[in-house]
Amino acid sequence: MTIAVKFENVSRHFDSVRAVDGVSLEIADGEFFSMLGPSGSGKTTCLRLIAGFETPTSGLISIHGADVSGVPPYDRDINTVFQDYALFPHMSVLDNVAYGLMVRKVAKAERHRRAEEMLDLVKLAGLGGRRPAELSGGQRQRVALARALINHPRVLLLDEPLGALDLKLREQMQVELKGLQRKIGITFVYVTHDQQEALGMSDRLAVFNEGKIEQVGSPQEIYEHPATEFVAGFVGNSNLVDVTSAERIAGVTGALSIRPEKIHFASDFIGPPDAVRAGGVVHEVQYLGAATRYEVVLDAGPVLFVIRQNIATAGRHGGPGVGERIELAWERDAMQSLKSVAAGD
Amino acid sequence: MACVTMDRTSGATALRRRVSTLLYRRSTFFLMLLLAPPLLWLGIIYLGSLLALLIQSFFYIDEFTGQIVYEFSLRTYAELISSRANLDIILRTMSMAAAVTVAAATIGFPIAYYMARHATGRTKAFFYLAVMLPLWSSYLVRVYAWKLLLAKEGVISWAFANAHLGWLLDGVLALPVIGGPSLSVSYIGMFLVFTYIWLPFMILPIQAALERVPASLIEASGDLGARPNETFRKIILPLALPGVAAGSIFTFSLTLGDYIIPYVIGSSRFFIGQAVYIHQGTAGNVPMAAAFSVVPIVIIAIYLTIAKKLGAFDAL
C-alpha cells in the first residue's frame, strides 16, 4: 500500500482555537477516505491543510512521500471540489472546466476538446456554452467536479460537495461519485458531517471531534465497534450504558454501547444461552414505517432504545403498547466497551 | 348609543381590512402606488429637465438680433464642431478626464484591494474614514487649499527646493502644454487636484466589487494551478471590472462637467464646464450652452458602449 497523504502529529491553531490538534493519519493511494465530524471538528481545516490553503502550526504533512511544507496550492498535484462550488461567474461552463488547462498553457482547441470530454464524463455534455448562474445546483456540482478532475490530480479533495443538494439528488450523486472514483482510481478525500454518506461511500473513514481524530477504520469497524462514546453517539444511534448499570445488567466491567437494532424482544429471540436478558416497561412507541422504535425503561435503571423491523404487517403482530412489561435480550457481541467512559481511565 | 359607536368602529375596521386585502391581492397596484412618487420625481424633475436641455440645443441664436430662434435646427451643433476653439475645449477636457480616470484607477485599485481583501476590524474602519473624510469638508475649501499648496511660494515648491530637487520641479514645469509658470496655473496642478478630489469615487465602487468576490474563487484558481498573478488577471480583475467601470464613470463625468477646478487652478484656457457657464451666462447663448452640455453625455454613452463591448459588465 502506497501512502497518498500522511499527517504526522499535525496541528493548526487559529490564535487560541485549536482547529486541528495533533492529528496523525495515513490515507492510502486510490482510497475513498472520508473525514466525518460535526461542524467545527477540524475536518475541513484538515482538508485545507492538504490542499495548501492553510499551513500547519506544527507537524508534518507529506503527499506521495514528499514533504509539502511551503509548497503553495498551485504547485500541488491535488484539486478540490469546494462546498459552494466556487465556479467562476464570468466564464462559461466550458471555460470553467478548461481553466486548469488554460493556466497550464494548453492550446485553446485542445483544452476545449478535453473540457468537453470531462463534461461528458459528468453527464453535462452540451451545456458548455452556459453560464454557471444558468445551471441548477446539481449541475453546478458536476461542473465543479469536472473542473477539479481535468488536471488528472492524484488526490481529489471534496468539501461537503453534496451539502446543498436535496435528498434524492444527494443519494443519486453518492452512487455516481463512488462509481466515478472506482472508474478513475484516484484517491478521494471526502469531508462530510453526514454519517450516512460517510458510511455508504468510504473505504475507510476518520471520525473527528474537537480537532482530534476519535477513530479511524472501515465503515463496519466504525459502526460495529465504536471506540469512544463520541463515535458511538455520532455515527448511528447508540444506547450508552454507564459503568454501574453495565455491571448490574450484564455483569460487565466498563461502560458500554449497544446499537438499538441489536436488542431483541425475548419472545423473538433465538440466541446463545449466554445472551443478556433484562426486563422493563415500555415507555414510548414510535412507528417509523420500516421499523418501530421502543423506549424501554429497564428495571435495573437505564433507558434503552430498541428498533424492531416491521416484518409482519402491523395489527396482527403489533408489538407491546405503552406501559406494558417486556423482556429484552441481546448477544454479548452486541455490547461494545467504550474507552472514554471506562472506569479508571 | 353604545351600539352605534360600536357599529362605526367595526365599519372603519372593515374598511381598513378591505383596503389592506385589496393591496395584498393586487400587489402590482400596491407596487405602483409606492413607486409612483419617486418615478414622477425622476421622470419630471430629472429626465424632463434633461430633455428640455436637449431640446434647447436644437434651437439657435439669431446673429443679428441676438434672440433665440425657437425652431428645430442643427445650426448650433454645426457651429460647435466647426469652431477650432470649441473643439480644443472638448479635446482638452476629455484628455484631462481620461488622464484623471487612469490615475485614479491606478492609485485607487491597490487601496481598494487592501481594504477589501486584507484589512479587518480597526484597520478597515480607519481606511473607510480616510477615504470618506475629505468628502465631509467643503469642496471649495479643499480646492483653494490645493491652490496654496501648489503656488509658487507654496509648500510643494518649498519642499522641492529644500530637497535640492528644485531643478526637477522646474524641469517638469518647463514641459510644453502640461507645464506652466507654477504648479497652481498648470495642467499638472489641475490634474493633481482633480485626481485628489475624485479619488474616493473610484475607490469605493472598486472596493465594493472586490468585497463581493468570494474567497473560495481565489482559492479555486490557485488550486487549479494558477499562480497569484494569473489569478489576479483572470479572476480578480475581471470580477472587479464593473467596479472600475462604475468608478471611472464617476471620475470621468465629474471631471468633464467640473468648472470650478479649471477656474481656480490652471490657466485661462477653457474647459467644457466653463464654456457652458460663459455661454449661458455672459453670452446669453443658451442653445450653445446646451449643445456643450450634451457633449459629455455623448462621450459617456460612447465610453459605456465600448466598456460593454470589452466585457466590463460580464461579471455583473
Does residue A76 carry a pLDDT above 80? Answer: yes
Q: Enumerate the β-bridge partners of residue A278.
A: A328
- Which residue from B78, B38, B82 is spatially nearest to B58, judged by alpha carbons? B78
> Which residue in A51, A88, A104 is closest to B223 by CB distance?
A51
Mean pLDDT of A292-321: 80
> Which cell is A144 given?
465543479
pLDDT band at A254, cuts 50/70/90?
confident
Q: How far apart are CA A88 and CA A131, in angstroms?
A: 9
Residue B9's pLDDT is 62
> Which residue in A72, A86, A90 is closest to B220 by CB distance?
A86
Under an 8 A CB cutoff, do A103 and B219 touch? no
Across chain B, what does the average pLDDT equal?
Answer: 87
Evaluate the CA torsion angle B172, B177, B181, B185 in order and state its sign. Answer: negative
> Which residue in B230, B238, B311 is closest to A103 by CB distance?
B230
Chain A interface disruption, residue of B210, B212, B223, most A CBs within 10 A: B223
Does residue A344 carry a pLDDT above 50? Answer: no
User: Nearest CA to CA, how far is A86 from chain B (Å)?
Assistant: 5
Q: How far apart are CA A88 and CA B231, in angstroms?
A: 11
The structure's pTM equals: 0.78
The DSSP secondary structure of B34-93, one letter per residue, reads HHHHHHHIIIIIIIIHHHHHHHHTTSEE-TTT-PEE-S--SHHHHHHHH-HHHHHHHHHH
Q: Which residues contact A293 (CB under 8 A, 6 or more apart)?
A: A260, A285, A286, A305, A306, A307, A308
What DSSP element (H or E) covers A284?
strand A276-287
Provide the phi-psi class of A36: left if phi over 0, else alpha when psi is between -120 and 50, else beta. Answer: beta
Q: How far apart are CA A102 and CA A110, in angstroms?
A: 10
Under an 8 A CB cutoff, do A90 and B315 touch? yes
> Which cell is A154 given?
492524484
- b/e per residue, B257-273, with b = 16+ CB within 10 A? bbbebbeebbeeebbbb
The DSSP secondary structure of A105-142, one letter per residue, reads T--HHHHHHHHHHHHHHTT-TT-TTS-GGGS-HHHHHH
Domains defined for chain A, CATH in brackets: 3-230 (3.40.50.300), 239-337 (2.40.50.100)
Under an 8 A CB cutoff, do A89 and B234 touch? no
Under an 8 A CB cutoff, do B224 and A103 touch? yes
- Which residue from B302, B296, B299, B272 is spatially nearest to B50, judged by alpha carbons? B296
Mean pLDDT of A277-282: 88
Mean pLDDT of B140-152: 90
Does residue A160 carry a pLDDT above 80? Answer: yes
Among all residues of chain B, which has the CA nearest to that of A87? B217
Does residue B276 carry a pLDDT above 90? Answer: no
Please state, in angstroms and as integers, the Cα–Cα distance from residue B28 to each residue in A77, B41, B296, following that order: 55, 20, 37
The end-to-end CA distance of chain A, in Å, is 34
Under an 8 A CB cutoff, do B221 and A99 touch? yes
pLDDT in tens, A188-233: 999 999 888 899 899 999 999 999 999 999 999 999 888 888 998 8
Q: Enumerate the β-bridge partners of residue A208.
A: A213
Among all residues of chain A, which has the CA nearest to that of B315? A90
- Which residue from A32, A61, A75, A93 is spatially nearest to B223, judged by alpha carbons? A75
How many Cβ atoms sit within 10 Å of the Cβ of residue A320?
Answer: 15
User: Nearest CA to CA, how far is B233 from chain A (Å)?
Assistant: 11
Contacts of B217 in chain A (CB under 8 A): 86, 88
Under an 8 A CB cutoff, do B223 and A90 touch? no
Pairing of strands A32-36, A187-192: parallel
Does residue A93 carry a pLDDT above 90? Answer: yes
> Which residue in A72, A90, A100 is closest to B224 by CB distance?
A100
**Which residues, numbered 39 to 68 in chain A, qualify as contacts with chain B under a Cβ-Cβ cut-off of 8 Å?**
51, 53
User: Nearest CA to CA, how far is B236 from chain A (Å)?
Assistant: 10
C-beta separation of A174 from A200 below 8 A: yes
Contacts of A160 in chain B (CB under 8 A): none
Cα B39 to chain centroid, rounded: 23
Among all residues of chain B, which has the CA nearest to that of A146? B224
How many Cβ atoms sit within 10 Å of the Cβ of residue A303?
Answer: 13
Q: Which range among A309-323, B247-261, B280-294 shows the weakest confidence by mean pLDDT?
A: A309-323
Under an 8 A CB cutoff, do A53 and B219 touch? yes
Q: Enumerate the β-bridge partners of residue A61.
A: A7
> Which residue in B214, B226, B314 is closest to A103 by CB distance?
B226
Does residue B30 carry a pLDDT above 90? Answer: no
User: Nearest CA to CA, how far is B232 from chain A (Å)?
Assistant: 12
C-beta separation of B243 from B231 below 8 A: no
C-beta separation of B240 from B213 below 8 A: yes
What DSSP element (H or E) covers A309?
strand A303-309
pLDDT in tens, A1-35: 689 999 999 999 988 888 999 899 999 999 999 99
pLDDT in tens, B159-216: 988 988 888 888 888 888 787 888 888 889 999 999 999 999 999 999 999 999 999 9
Does residue B315 carry a pLDDT above 80? Answer: no
How many Cβ atoms sit within 10 Å of the Cβ of residue B132?
Answer: 12
Q: How far apart are CA B180 and CA B174, in angstroms?
A: 7
Contacts of A100 in chain B (CB under 8 A): 224-225
Q: How far apart are CA A279 and CA B286, in angstroms?
A: 103
Q: How far apart are CA A189 and CA A337, in angstroms?
A: 29
Question: Within an 8 Å CB–CB cutoff, is residue A96 touching chain B?
Answer: no
Mean pLDDT of B285-305: 88
Under an 8 A CB cutoff, do A74 and B219 touch? no
C-beta separation of A329 from A276 below 8 A: yes
Chain B interface disruption, residue of A87, A99, A147, most B CBs within 10 A: A99
The DSSP secondary structure of A216-279, one letter per residue, reads EE-HHHHHHS--SHHHHHHSS--EEE-HHHHHHHH--SS-EEE-GGG-EETTT----TT-EEEE
Domains defined for chain B, CATH in brackets: 84-309 (1.10.3720.10)
> Which cell is A192 given?
462530510
Contacts of A72 in chain B (CB under 8 A): 222
Greatest alpha-carbon span in chain B: 99
Mean pLDDT of A308-326: 75
Under an 8 A CB cutoff, do A100 and B238 touch? no
Please state, in angstroms and as integers, the Cα–Cα distance from residue B26 to each residue in A76, B13, B16, B21, following that order: 58, 20, 15, 8
Under an 8 A CB cutoff, do B222 and A90 touch? no
- Which residue from B118, B224, B115 is spatially nearest to A91, judged by alpha carbons? B224
Helix axes B121-136, B84-117, angle to 10 degrees: 160
Among all residues of chain B, which has the CA nearest to that of A86? B217
C-beta separation of A155 from A29 below 8 A: no
Taking the CA atoms of chain B, what radius of gyration do you get in angstroms?
27
> Which cell is A320 given?
407491546
Question: Within an 8 Å CB–CB cutoff, is residue A185 touching chain B?
Answer: no
Contacts of A103 in chain B (CB under 8 A): 221, 224-227, 230, 234
Question: Within an 8 Å CB–CB cutoff, is residue A209 touching chain B?
Answer: no
Question: Within an 8 Å CB–CB cutoff, is residue A163 touching chain B?
Answer: no
Under an 8 A CB cutoff, do B220 and A73 touch? no
C-beta separation of A322 from A284 below 8 A: yes
Question: Within an 8 Å CB–CB cutoff, is residue A74 touching chain B?
Answer: yes
Contacts of B314 in chain A (CB under 8 A): 90
C-beta separation of B179 from B186 below 8 A: yes
pLDDT in tens, A37-49: 998 899 999 999 9
Please state, in angstroms and as integers, the Cα–Cα distance from residue A5 to each residue in A29, A64, A77, following that order: 8, 6, 12
Backbone phi, psi, residue A242, to 5°: -75, 175
Indicate if ipTM > 0.95.
Answer: no
> Which cell is B161 given?
527646493
Pairing of strands A66-67, A58-63: antiparallel
Contacts of B214 in chain A (CB under 8 A): 84, 86
C-beta separation of A81 from B231 below 8 A: no
Mean pLDDT of B89-97: 92
For residue A51, the SS3 value is helix
Contacts of B234 in chain A (CB under 8 A): 99, 102-103
Query: Which residues of B lie closer than 8 Å to A, measured between beta carbons?
Result: 214, 216-217, 219-227, 230, 234-235, 238-239, 311, 314-315
A-B Cβ pairs (cutoff 8 Å, strict): 64
